[in-house]
Structure 1
Amino acid sequence: MTTRERDRQDVQGVSATRRLEIRLREVLDRRFLAVVVLLGLVVLGGGWVAYNTHVDPGTEETTAVVGSWSEEPELSHQARVQADNPVFETGTVRADRPLYFTRLMPELEGLYAYAYDGSVTDGSLSVEATSYLVIRAVDGEETLWQERERLETTSVDGVEPGAAVPLSFTVNVSELDARIGSIVADLGADPGTTETSVVVKTTASGTIDGKQVANAHEATYSIERNDGSYAVTTETSGLGGGEFTRTVTTERTYGPLRSFGSLAALLFGVGALAWVVHGRRTGTLGPSREELAALELAQERAEYDEWVSRGRIPVGELEGPTIEVESLEDIVDVAIDSDRRVIEDPTAEAYYVADRGAVYVYEPAEFPGADEALPAPADDAEPIEIDPETTLDEPVEAEPEAILDDVESDRARRDSAPAAGSRVAVDGPGADQASLEALFADVETWEDELVTPDANGASSGGDSDSSNAASPPMEPDGGTEPDATDHG
């Protein structure tokens, strides 16, 4: 698409994108100072954030985990078959079973092994573990009575990570019923619910990776007795452990939004500021008069779209007098009043309305302000010889009839020349349209002085001895004597 075709398309209809572009450039041009200040702030802000992000991000103190430890005791239980029976072989050990038979396996053996471990490289703990047989009666959360018997104890120093501290105990479950019965008999009552368990209390203290640690926890073997059997469940509470941390000073880091966003803001601000300033200096920032005219015409065209149809009028089809109107609104008014449609001819770049033998036409100015340009030379214009040495103050020595003929000829030539957009050819140094029109005005003045009779009936402007003497008749070309009348 050529530039002219693109300009024509803009005049006939501006796309939404181009309309937005023109308005944006108009705002940028009108608010130039505010835009420069705003872009300057964007550049400063983006540069400051980018500098603090990439050049001098600063430091921050963080807490780093350098190690961890945790207590990991193991709880197990078993019972040996002591009585003959047709099911289990005597002497075999039943380990970690959900149910034991009281008559066949009366003694419960508990196995407890304390240990600690973790991501540690060095550690030394002193461990003490003690087991207790606990018999009590409870009513909900309340303990009514309790009896505690110490079973086994062990104590080991210098326990390293991963090393085990074992502790074992034995409880004769078959004797518990008799023991509980004795307690109840001594109390004289059997309130609440009786519970039996073995509790292992463990304390550990020392250093791990140079850090002082200390903890105490409990491991419980709960013994649930039924008619002829018992079951064992285990649980632990209060296990120790934790993380070893230290304060680390590191360079501050930022996310991608700040890292890349600051650079994008800086580059955008610099580029936009350079483009705006360059456009302002070269005059390309704001829209041209042609673009504003195209935008205005496009808006008017959209406003009156229901009255306008696009078409092409063949050459020679427009007959009758042509009436030019000044705006699209005017020609749409003519179409509305005459109940006609406006024909938009993209080829002729004009709008037409034909009504009653007359043709109304509106031709949008492709370049607004063209009527201020100098007129172009006419095809039949002849050069006028102007003596640069002659001034308008000096008398012109010429026959009045010749001057009149020249004046009439110049008038006819000027009337036949195009009124707008044209220029008359004038020869001579420094001659232009202004000097030509000045010449016409002076020649008309000379004409009036030559042909206007004075109060005595004589023409002024000739050589005479007195103001009351009449000028002698002049013989114009063609031999016809002018009719002179004495008004004296």
Structure 2
Amino acid sequence: MALEDRIELFVTRQARPLVALFAVVGLLCLVGAGYVFFTPSTQTVTDEVNVQTIESSVETSAVATGESSLYDQGETLENKSAYFTQIAPVVSFHVNTTVPSDQPVLVTQRLTMETVGVRDGDPFYRSTRTLIEDQQRVSDGRVAAAQSINVTAMRDELETKRSETDGLGRFQVTLTLDVTYQTDSYEGTITTSAPFVISGQAYYLDGAVSDSKTHSTTVTRRVQEPSDPLEYSGLAFLGFVLLGLCGLIIRTEDNSDPEVLRTEISHSRHDEWISRGEFPTESEKQYISIRTLEDLVDVAIDTNRRVIYDPDIDIYAVIDGTEIYYYSTDDLHAHTWLNL
């Protein structure tokens, strides 16, 4: 009970400051809850608009003209991982570019084949052959062009170059696609390439000749987010709790007697010096009133006596010969006990 008595005594002594503090904080919490509820926050959101994608690629095809157990004569071979000069000596390159179809787009396609002679990483020969070069303004979203080459003739040409250089270096062939475009909002270039390999009777593109670009415009906008129920309800709950504590503190102040509380606290602190009992009133005794229970306990300690507590009349006393030192929180009980 000592802890409860201490808390109640503190509340009783500090009732007005506590009520003022809790009332102000409680009202601020309620105002804050209303503010959070009626003024939701906003967030900046980024959107990508007017998105346009341009894609370009090169596909291959060849017609089987030679007799073979692999393919039927006259069969069209498309996008094979390898072709053979004895079966299909002519290969076609098909350039396809897709653009936005809801507007006119100016597209320039250029397909080149470059042959480079290299020794120790440094070129000693370079030649470029343009296979496709055209410019179109289209509105249907698609641009296409094609060109064929005789790979047998190209292989023979490379063999002649190797013979002329006496095998000093090696020759590399690269197929390169350059596409420039201009839409209503964007313009740009796509460049992609892959080695064109001729090895014996076989030839092939060593990789995909394709790429794409996507353009967009970034815009920001403010989006209102709904208020967090946990936030404003928590503030409101705390506000009502604090206002409720104000009423509890006021009621505690009205119903509590600080002197009684201090006595209860002193009783608990000095319990080892206090014994329960009862004592009669005798006229020859001298009765001395002590201001506080703590002072009475000091008298008991000084006189090596015990404090007697009579719960029936709620009086503490120390009997020392003809003198009785007493303390009571209720003068009416003390006067009745003393027959006053």
Cα separation, 2, equivalents of 1:231 and 1:285: 101
| Aligned partner of residue 281 in structure 1, secondary structure | helix
Cα separation, 1, equivalents of 2:113 and 2:271: 110
Superposition map of 1:278-297 within 5 A: 278-284=247-253
Cα separation, 2, equivalents of 1:188 and 1:43: 98
Cα separation, 1, equivalents of 2:74 and 2:131: 24
Superposition map of 1:68-217 within 5 A: 68-116=51-99, 122-138=102-118, 145-160=125-140, 163-184=141-162, 190-191=168-169, 193-207=170-184, 212-217=185-190
Partner in structure 1 of residue 244 of structure 2: 275
| Aligned partner of residue 168 in structure 2, secondary structure | coil
Q: 1:330 aligns with which of 256, 273, 288?
A: 273
Whichever structure has more strand as a proportion of its residues is: 2
> RMSD in angstroms over aligned alpha carbons?
4.2
Q: 1:182 to 1:269 in 2, by over 3 A?
A: same
CA contact (8 A) 2:12 2:252 kept: no
Cα separation, 2, equivalents of 1:83 and 1:268: 91
Q: Following TM superposition, by how much is the alpha carbon of 1:177 offset from its aligned partner in structure 2, in angstroms? A: 2.9
CA contact (8 A) 2:19 2:249 kept: no
Q: Following TM superposition, by how much is the alpha carbon of 1:201 offset from its aligned partner in structure 2, in angstroms? A: 1.3
How many residue pairs align between the two structures? 297
* Bigger radius of gyration among the two: 1
CA contact (8 A) 2:194 2:209 kept: no
Q: 1:40 aligns with which of 24, 47, 59?
A: 24
Q: 1:158 to 1:64 in 2, by over 3 A?
A: same
| Aligned partner of residue 212 in structure 2, secondary structure | coil
Cα separation, 2, equivalents of 1:271 and 1:152: 82
Cα separation, 2, equivalents of 1:141 and 1:24: 91
CA contact (8 A) 1:203 1:217 kept: yes
Q: Following TM superposition, by how much is the alpha carbon of 1:287 offset from its aligned partner in structure 2, in angstroms? A: 7.0
Q: Following TM superposition, by how much is the alpha carbon of 1:54 offset from its aligned partner in structure 2, in angstroms? A: 3.0
CA contact (8 A) 1:216 1:238 kept: no
| Aligned partner of residue 85 in structure 1, secondary structure | coil
Superposition map of 1:342-357 within 5 A: none
Q: Following TM superposition, by how much is the alpha carbon of 1:115 offset from its aligned partner in structure 2, in angstroms? A: 0.5
Partner in structure 2 of residue 264 of structure 1: 234
TM-score by length of 1: 0.50
Partner in structure 2 of residue 385 of structure 1: none
Q: 1:34 to 1:236 in 2, by over 3 A?
A: farther
Q: 1:166 to 1:158 in 2, by over 3 A?
A: closer
Q: What 5-or-longer segments of structure 1 have no aligned partner?
A: 1-10, 301-326, 333-359, 377-419, 425-432, 438-488
What are the Cα deviations for residues 3-22 of structure 1, in whole angstroms up to 9, with x where unaligned? xxxxxxxx6xx8xxxx5x66
Cα separation, 1, equivalents of 2:119 and 2:112: 22
CA contact (8 A) 2:9 2:261 kept: no
Q: Following TM superposition, by how much is the alpha carbon of 1:71 offset from its aligned partner in structure 2, in angstroms? A: 1.6
Q: Following TM superposition, by how much is the alpha carbon of 1:182 offset from its aligned partner in structure 2, in angstroms? A: 3.8
TM-score by length of 2: 0.68
| Aligned partner of residue 40 in structure 1, secondary structure | helix
Q: Following TM superposition, by how much is the alpha carbon of 1:150 offset from its aligned partner in structure 2, in angstroms? A: 0.6
Q: What 5-or-longer segments of structure 2 have no aligned partner?
A: 276-305, 317-327
Q: Which amino acid in 1 is paired with 2:157?
A: R
What are the Cα deviations for residues 73-128 of structure 1, in whole angstroms up to 9, with x where unaligned? 343222221211334221112222222222222222222211035xxx83321111
Partner in structure 2 of residue 54 of structure 1: 37
Cα separation, 1, equivalents of 2:311 and 2:70: 117
| Aligned partner of residue 277 in structure 1, secondary structure | helix
% identical aligned pairs:
11
Q: 1:246 to 1:185 in 2, by over 3 A?
A: same
